[in-house]
Amino acid sequence: MPTDVNPAALADLVKGSTVPVLVDFWAPWCGPCRAMAPALATLAGEMGGRMFVVKLDVDQHPEVLDECRIQSIPTLILFAGGGGEMARRVGALPLPGLREFVARAGVP
Annotated catalytic residue: which of 21, 23, 30, 92? 30
Class of residue 13 by CB neighbours under 10 A (exposed 0-12, middle 13-18, buried 19+): middle
Of residues 74, 85, 71, 100, the one with CA closest to residue 10: 85
Does residue 30 carry a catalytic annotation?
yes
User: Phi, psi at residue 85, to the nearest 5°?
Assistant: -75, 130
pLDDT of residue 12: 95
pLDDT of residue 96: 98
Per-residue burial over 69-100, b if 16 or more Cβ lie within 10 Å, else e, is ebeebbbbbbbbbeeeebbbbeebbeeeebbe
Domains belonging to the chain, first-starting first, are: 3-104 (3.40.30.10)
- Using one digit for the tens of pLDDT, what is the confidence trace for 5-64? 999 999 999 999 999 999 999 999 999 999 999 999 999 999 988 999 999 999 999 999
Annotated catalytic residue: which of 10, 33, 36, 58? 33
Predicted structure pTM score: 0.95
Does residue 68 carry a catalytic annotation?
no
Q: What is the CA radius of gyration of the chain?
A: 12
pLDDT, mean of residues 77-95: 95
